[in-house]
Structure 1
Amino acid sequence: MPINEYGFLGKDIKQYENELVTKYKEVFDFYEDINHFLYKMKYRIDVERNDFQGGIMIGLFSKSLTTFQAIYVLFRHYLCNNAEELCRILFEEMVNIGYCSLGKDEARRYLSLQVINKLKIVNLVNEEKNRKYLIKNYKEIFFKDKSYNEWKNKLINYLHKLEIKEIFDKNGKPKAISLEERIKKVNSKVIMNLYLTFYRIVSTGIHSSPEILPRYLITDENDLIKEIRWGPEAENNEITILFAAIHFMIIILEYLSNYFRIPEKKDIDYFFEKIKKLGRKYNYFLEEL
């Protein structure tokens, strides 16, 4: 099953996987060690049933752990570009955990995002100008059980019950807090640096921006097509991707430790020192941060 006929689903992709694992064995081993620690820790954290804030944080942690494992699986099987794109999701999960750790008001503000998004959908479906883009009778089906006004009132009332300061503008319209606003509230130089650099770089793949094309399309000095790459040749197999994912999870551990007192600081310090040591070897870690 050659790559030229089956791509990543062919058996020949195994040779690339083996080369990658051999080249970065110590990093893969570290990734597996911290993943094992994270899984053990997940069962040690006890959340009270009425702990609204802690419940949201643990829910986000569970999701981030799945993302963390997905990055490993994709990268190990040489789907490095997709692993890189998942790092953006893990970054946002890290930010949200940090933001929710600030207090109950912040946790409610985070939760309000789903309500505001639902309200946007309700408004979009209701607008007559959008009917031509929807399937036949979609508006009628959507509002079959609840009318537009019933949906709108229900969602607005829910937002009022959250008692979030300044969530409505002067016209009474709810405002969603952006990712950048959440990052500023978290007030972390490290996270802001990652947002301004790493996050924006990996976003190019998420949005299929033109910046991603040089991985797949090679041109000459006259901008004429010289080569089209695909499969393993087009993958960015820089180990930075795994280092970033590990780094994000260590930051998440710090937020969880501050709130739940689990894990212990010595465990976080151990992983932090290890990523610094390995990071220096592979040119990942920035000492000034």
Structure 2
Amino acid sequence: MTEIMLGVIGGSGIYDIDGLEDAQWRDVQTPWGAPSDQILTGRLHGVALAFLPRHGRGHVHSPTDVPYRANIDALKRLGVTHVLSLSACGSFRDEMAPGHFVMVDQYIDRTVNRDKSFFSSGCVAHVSMAHPICDGLSRAAGDAARQAGVTVHDGGTYLVMEGPQFSTLAESRMYREAWGCDVIGMTNMPEAKLAREAEMHYATIAMVTDYDSWHPDHDDVDVQAVIAVLQGNSAHARATVVNLVRMIAGAGCATGCATALDFAIMTAPGRRDPVVLGKLDAVAGRVLG
């Protein structure tokens, strides 16, 4: 059996993980360029772990400019099997208050300026995104967050906007009222799509920092107020990761994450471009090798 290795992608305010044994920051080369930063590897309570700050240490990458393909490819090359995405988000629901965690299970992708697939002409593939989240990993992460003392909401739709600006009031109302979204952020697409293509178990914790701009009783989104909530969320996120490694071995999967490519590749073997195949060695080696 493949050893479980947890990959943690840290969002705004989370740039490292404490307590790793044999910790080292490692350079990882990918066919898609350099990832957001070096990757911190080690073991936490006996579980192999790799941590990647999505925006880079010091927050140097904007949401649009995050090298998403390189990030997922680099984690896959290191042997990561499960990816926990920690993401700061705004809330469209009164009950999903700042400081709460939402276990996202669906997305609406409104990004337009990002490379969203490892596959292209020369090797075409269509991966199902009907169930974009690993159900077992998401449940385990939610339980881990509750053990850390966090109020957790199971299930929610994450509207992924391009950014870097926050929403207009009209957009915020549309996403909340007409589209039925629960949280909004700028980074989980194409990350979730790429993790699915790489056959990795992927789950998101949306860490609520604000009410976006729709709420009549709150000010518009203010960066300083968001940062204040981020500090508390970051401490809870680190505790959640510690709890999760203790229970990850029992996290099952009913959403087919590890076999997502079984029937996805459409290009006939004799028509596949060797150059494209060379770039897919890590993410699709199981089915192309």
Is the structural similarity TM-score above 0.5?
no
- Point out the structure with max Rg over C-alpha: 1
Q: TM-score range by the shorter chain?
A: under 0.3
More helix by proportion, 1 or 2?
1
More strand by proportion, 1 or 2?
2
TM-score normalised to structure 2 length: 0.26
